[in-house]
Amino acid sequence: MSAITVVKRDGTREPFDANKINLALVEATEGLPDQISKVVQVASELQLTLFDGITSEQLDEAVIHTALQNVKDDPDFDIIATRLLLKNIYKNILGEFANPAELKKLHEQKFAGYLKQGISEGLLDERMSSAVFDLKKLAKALNPTR
């Protein structure tokens, strides 16, 4: 797989790194039975969909779809796909993070700003402002991995 390059979100290219996919799959399978076999299954099936010049977005979608293809055989793959999708959503909104601790930190840093933006755009009620709620305390209490 050394000939495959991935086009990152900023347009740069880097060699495909299976370890990054494996790490994401290990995180997504945390607490599930037969964790390693599920990681190996998704990772090996994913290899069939890779091509040179695949974008990060396409790679993220391919991993999710590969997990979903296995739901018919084991419902745990739905949990895996859901966790991967949630991680992808957070990555698109908050930026890159390496682990759940970094995600929590990013979430806490940006939570109040997103609420304020939602209020100013009329998407959220003004009662969600910091005048009513302690947004720092609320951000700390929320677990973005759930």
Residues 42-53: pLDDT tens digits? 999 999 999 999
Residue 5 in this model has a pLDDT that exceeds 80? yes
Give this prediction's pTM: 0.81
How far is it, in rounded angstroms, from Cα 136 to Cα 17?
37
Mean pLDDT of 79-92: 93
Closest listed residue to residue 107, CA positions, set 60, 145, 56, 57: 145
How far is it, in rounded angstroms, from Cα 49 to Cα 133?
47
How far is it, in rounded angstroms, from Cα 61 to Cα 63?
5
Of all residues in the chain, the percent with pLDDT exceeding 90 is 67
Tell me if 96 sits within 8 A of 90, measured CB to CB: no
**pLDDT digit string (tens) for 27-74?**
999 999 999 999 999 999 999 999 999 999 999 999 999 999 999 999
Q: What is the pLDDT of residue 46?
A: 98
At position 104, the amino acid (one-letter code) is K
How far is it, in rounded angstroms, from Cα 88 to Cα 65?
13
**pLDDT digit string (tens) for 98-138?**
778 888 898 899 998 988 899 999 999 988 887 788 888 99
Query: Where in the chain are the domains?
Result: 1-96, 99-146
Residue 141 in this model has a pLDDT that exceeds 70? yes
Q: What is the pLDDT of residue 37?
A: 97
Largest interatomic CA distance in the chain: 55
Name residue, tokens 């086009």: 7
